Amino acid sequence: MFLLWTPALLFLLFIIMPLAAVFYNLDATKLVHELQNPEVTDALGLGLVTSSLTSFLSFLFGVPTAYLLATRNFIGKSFFDAVLDVPMILPPAVAGLALLLAFAPKGLLGPELRQLGIILPGSTLAVILSQFFVASPFVLRSSKAAFENVDKKLIDAARLLNPSRFRVFFTVTLPLAINGVLAGLLMTWARAMGEFGATLMFAGNLPGITQTMPLAIYMLMAEDPLASNVLSAILVVSSFAILMMFRSLASGKRRGYYDQA
């Protein structure tokens, strides 16, 4: 017993100490005060807007791709599949540099983008692209697994009754896979909120334009430690909330869908 509890409790203590320390110096007045600090509100607002847009884009591209990978066979599928996972384990700094080399004005596609009047570094769009690059694989993975788990017989049953494949997808396949899709979206959203390295490299650190919460935490650490502390606390709370939602979705027995034989 002792041999199990000692490492387990030390482990928990080590994780919980830093998390608790984030809240140690904070009280309601300080929180309210900092929530009027434009640097804090700008970073918070930008973070929320960009991660939500990133999640939306990940849904738009990730769900059809996941469905394609889960239900069709084609040449080069496993390569296709593996490539889309690379950003998940790539060091974010490398991701940022790679994005620069591809899309910066002097990058691979730079001249073409410039002709279209698009200069990415230093823009909010670059923040979204950085987040999308590193965070979209979560939606893809989770949705693909969810689509693979939908009983093929249910889809067959629907195809016999419904002439439109499109409507079969929206009335049967997607509702049955929705927990997995939503769980993936939550993880994408959380990962996007916390994105630091790729954003810093590719988008830069301009308050109000590209400075999301993690960037602001880093920049404000020296000049305004309290602001940095408040932002950290917000991220800890939101991470915890996301995790709880994720866990309830992942255990997903709403209405006992999966109980039936």
Partner 1 sequence: MIRLSMIRKSYGDKEVLKDLTLEVRKCELLCLVGPNGSGKTTTLNVIAGLCRPDEGSVFINDVLVDGTKGNRLVHVNPAERNVGYVFQDYALFPHMTVSENISYGLKARHLQEQEVKERTRKLLEFMEITDHSEHYPHQLSGGQKQRTALARALAIEPQILLLDEPFAALDLKTRESLRVELKRILETLGVTSIYVTHELAEAYMISDRIAVMEHGKIEQTGSRD
Give the residue from 185, 211, 220, 242 showing the smallest Cα distance to 44. Answer: 211
Nearer to partner 1, 159 or 247 (CB): 159
Tell me how crowded residue 22 is: count the other CB atoms within 10 A of its CB: 17
Cβ-based nearer residue to partner 1, 106 or 152: 152
Comparing C-alpha atoms, which of 128, 170, 177 is closest to residue 148? 177
**Taking contact as CB under 8 A, which single stretch among the options 97-105, 124-132, 148-156, 210-218 is the one that binds partner 1?**
148-156
Output the CA angle 82-84-86, nearest 5 degrees. 75
| CA pair distance 230, 30, nearest whole angstrom | 8
For the bound state, the minimum distance from the C-beta of residue 260 to partner 1, rounded and expressed in Å, comes to 5
**Site for partner 1 (CB under 8 A): how many residues?**
24
**In the complex, minimum distance from the CB of residue 189 to partner 1, in angstroms, rounded to a whole number:** 24
CB atoms within 10 A of CB 112: 10
State in angstroms the smallest separation of the CB of 163 from partner 1: 4
Q: Nearer Cβ to partner 1, position 160 or 222?
A: 160
Total length of the chain? 261
Near partner 1 by CB under 8 A, which window of 23-31, 76-84, 124-132, 155-163? 155-163
User: Binder to partner 1 among 27, 74, 163, 223 (CB under 8 A)?
Assistant: 163
Helix (H) or strand (E) holding 249: helix 225-250
- Closest-CA residue to 101 (of 196, 198, 223): 198
| Among positions 17, 83, 94, 154, the unique one binding partner 1 when judged by CB under 8 A | 154
Binding mask 170-209 for partner 1 (x = CB under 8 A): -xx--xx---------------------------------
Q: CA 189, CA 208: separation in Å to the nearest integer?
A: 20
Which residues between 222 and 261 bind partner 1 (CB under 8 A)?
255-261
HSE-CB for 127 with a 13 A CA cutoff: 29
Token output for 70: 């889960």
Angle between helices 77-89 and 124-149 (to 10 degrees): 130
DSSP symbol at 157: H
- Residue among 176 and 216 whose Cβ is closer to partner 1: 176
CB of 257 to partner 1, least distance (A): 4
Instruction: Please select the residue that binds partner 1; options are 49, 109, 158, 245, rule is CB under 8 A.
Output: 158
CB of 167 to partner 1, least distance (A): 7
Whether 87 contacts 96, CB under 8 Å: no
Instruction: Convert residues 99-138 into a mask of x (bound to partner 1 by CB under 8 A) and - (unbound).
Output: ----------------------------------------
Can you give the binding site for partner 1, defined by CB under 8 A?
A: 151, 153-154, 156-164, 167, 171-172, 175-176, 255-261
